A and B are shown apart, each in its own frame.
Chain A
Amino acid sequence: MPAILKKDNLQQLLASLSQAYKLVLPVRENGMTFFRPYQTGLTIDPDYINTATSPKEFLFPQTEKMLSFKYRESADISITNEEPHAEKLAVFGARSCDLAGIAALDPVFGGRFPDPQYSTRRDNVLLVGLGCRRASASCFCQAFNIDPLACAGADIAMIELEDCFAIEARTARGHAQLANFSQLLEEDHSGGVKTSLSSAREALNRSFGSLPDPAGVKDFLDRQFELPYWEQIASRCLGCGICTYICPTCHCFDIFDVTRGKPDGNRYRCWDSCMFADFTGMAGGHNPRPTQKERVRNRFMHKLKYHLDRYEIGGCVGCGRCVEKCPVNLDIRQIINDINKLQGVEVNGQ
């Protein structure tokens, strides 16, 4: 049963949260919304549908130092591993799609050989989800059965209603933190929250446009690798990295050493993009994905098939960022629709 947080008390909740955690929250900046560090008086963008970039950067930063090395001719190479980043971080206002994005990243970095950097950050993060009030023209999380009000995977889930927030803890960490705020919370004696929730849900559902149906897509892609269709998509694609860098589930990285011409240096890992020509460049010059056709195929296969193959979790969470930002309007929803049409042709052709 969710408790009630009056809107006037939000500021105090953020202030208290910032005592225990480094707090980031969605803030309006240059006409867009980004997760930014909390400062006294800073409050959340009241109108944001979602942030311009996803919160994955807090668990998997774009640039991360892994180790430093020293080399002396008289001695062995000495290597100092970078200590995992153990700062306690609270991400306030994560949407359901982005929480699903984190759930999709967890098995990648936390599998049989857990990544120490990701795992440490993950162990120290408090995820405060905030249910959506409305969908944008590019939102389609519901196509993947993600409930934009549910905040599945959050430690604390909140839903904004007319004059208050409904708030509830979902995990032990969430309960422990919410207990600190008990003086800010009220019980829902009248049961008004339940009524407000159902009207909030109705309004939210109405704001979604038509959804693509991904149900048969993976099955079709399992059988079809060499589709001429990918050439059509590739001819439009500019080969930039926007879609991969703003995607909440894309997680490819490149590892390289920075030495400044000296034998000493640092090893970093940085985000990389399968849209880039050099992404699969190999020593000796061979490139197994020589054209944009192979690259766009990989991206959409990864979103709609490979991630499901490996982890039984969807690789696309319907956040719509790539839809919104692609400079040439490559829309994954349209691609799902097109694949469904191709599937119809395949079936009728047999």
Chain B
Amino acid sequence: MSEKKAHQEITAKLRAECKRLLETGTVHTVIGFAPGSMPGRTVPVFITNPQEVAQLTWNPFCAANLSKYLLDHHQPGGKAAIVVKGCDSRGIVRLLQDNQVLRDEVHILGIPCRGQYDHRKIPGGLEVEETEPLEQGTADVAHPELHLEKCAYCENPTPVIYDLLLDDAVAPSTDSKGRFTEITDLEAKTAQEKSTYWDDHFSRCLRCYACRNACPACTCRECVFDQFDPDWVSKRNNLTENTAFHLIRAFHVAGRCVDCGECDRVCPVQIPLRLLNRKIIKDLDELFEAPTPGTDLNVKPALGDFTPQDPDEFH
């Protein structure tokens, strides 16, 4: 099946299913994507009226991970249906494992994904006339070079958890060699080079906390970075405080980061935050043979579990 036909068919199926879910009262709200305000964008929508399901869309610009919207301070209404890609579905597992969301409160509409476009790559790469066909699913050519970085190696093109799958499953890449290429490249740098690399990025940080707010592993009701007494990390924007912010955050989500790449996508100054978390995922893989967090609901987070058979002593 061609990619363009798939978009239209998935969108039609999605609308029909959501209409049914709302009409039968199975769910109170549908959380999905609607066309955005510019070419190459989509916008999250919350639909409660079955007559409004025509707003829903599916296309390769549905980059956002909607799972964070499941947190009750966003959606107080009751059971919600949510549209997820494979990477997003690991975020759902994250929230379920942390008891932030209960399984019977969410109806998961899984969409197997062939890659999401990064609109930041489009202005130099494609004209609007070419973006729109991609969005509408009428383009004849796919452009994997314009995909988000995370799509280059995707472990779960098909959601790992769902109530309904809206298309045939897409097989993951069988070539596991490329999985951590960008991390091994970074690891090969000297300490000084690493320091320069991250100093350059962290000094640009605005401390807008978009990375935190978009993150499905960040669910604290009061974040340490919002506390001012004691002020663990000051509001002052300088390299020291910015570095402290990013490193504390990376360690806080260690073992829980599901690698959905939202931190990378939302950063307004393009700090490659996903690399920090990927490094920890690689370490977890090597030390504990732990899968990417969120892959399996029944596998507890590596750093959130213990066994008396642990070969290392507790200190």
Contact = CB atoms under 8 A, between A and B. Distances in A.
A97 interface: no
A331 interface: yes
Interface string A229-268: 0001001101111101110000000101010000000001
B256 interface: no
A137 B207 contact: no
A32 B42 contact: no
A52 interface: yes
A330 B208 CA distance: 16
Among A30, A63, A328, A333, max chain B CB count under 10 A is at A328
Interface string B180-211: 00000000000000000000010010111110
Interface hub of A244, A276, A327, A331 (most chain B Cβ within 10 A)? A327
Interface string A131-155: 0000011100000000000000000
B226 A241 contact: no
A273 B212 CA distance: 15
Nearest to A52: B269
Contact of B213 (A240, A291, A325): A240
A241 B207 contact: yes
Contacts of A53: 206, 269
A15 interface: no
A30 B204 contact: yes
A31 interface: yes
A325 B268 contact: yes
A323 interface: yes
Contact of A329 (B42, B73, B74, B213): B42
B314 interface: no
Nearest to B34: A329
B313 interface: no
A273 B210 CA distance: 12
B68 interface: yes
B46 A235 contact: yes
Interface in A206-247: 232, 235-236, 238-242, 244-246
Contacts of A240: 208-210, 212-214, 266
B299 interface: no
B270 A31 contact: yes
Contact of A238 (B120, B213, B226): B213
B128 A137 contact: yes
Interface of A: 30-32, 34, 52-53, 62-63, 136-138, 232, 235-236, 238-242, 244-246, 254, 256, 258, 268, 270-273, 276-278, 291, 323, 325, 327-331, 333-334
A269 to B, nearest CB: 9
A232 B44 CA distance: 11
Contacts of A244: 208
Nearest to A335: B37
17 contacts: A30-B201, A235-B75, A236-B43, A240-B209, A240-B214, A241-B206, A242-B268, A245-B206, A256-B228, A256-B231, A256-B234, A268-B236, A323-B37, A328-B44, A328-B64, A330-B43, A331-B36
Contacts of B270: 30-32
B36 A329 contact: yes
Given A256-B235, A270-B235, A246 B44 contact: no
Nearest to B211: A240
A346 B33 CA distance: 29
A72 B204 CA distance: 38
Contacts of A245: 206-208, 268
A262 to B, nearest CB: 14
Interface residues of B, number: 43
**Which of B36, B236, B262 has the most chain A CB within a 10 Å cutoff?**
B236
A329 B265 CA distance: 13
Nearest to A261: B230
Contacts, number: 112
Given A236-B43, A238-B68, A256-B228, A32 B235 contact: no
A161 to B, nearest CB: 23
Interface string B224-245: 0010100100111110000000
B39 interface: yes
A238 B68 CA distance: 9
A235 B238 CA distance: 32
Contacts of A246: 206, 268
Contacts of B39: 137
Given A53-B206, A270-B237, A278-B228, 7 more contacts: A236-B46, A240-B209, A258-B231, A258-B234, A276-B226, A329-B41, A331-B36
Contacts of B64: 327-328
A278 B226 contact: yes
Nearest to B234: A258
A235 to B, nearest CB: 5
A343 B224 CA distance: 42
Nearest to B241: A63
- Ordered nearest first, which 4 A-B pairs have the shortest CB separation? A240-B210, A327-B266, A241-B208, A331-B37
Contacts of A236: 43-46
Interface string B153-187: 00000000000000000000000000000000000
A253 to B, nearest CB: 9
B38 interface: yes
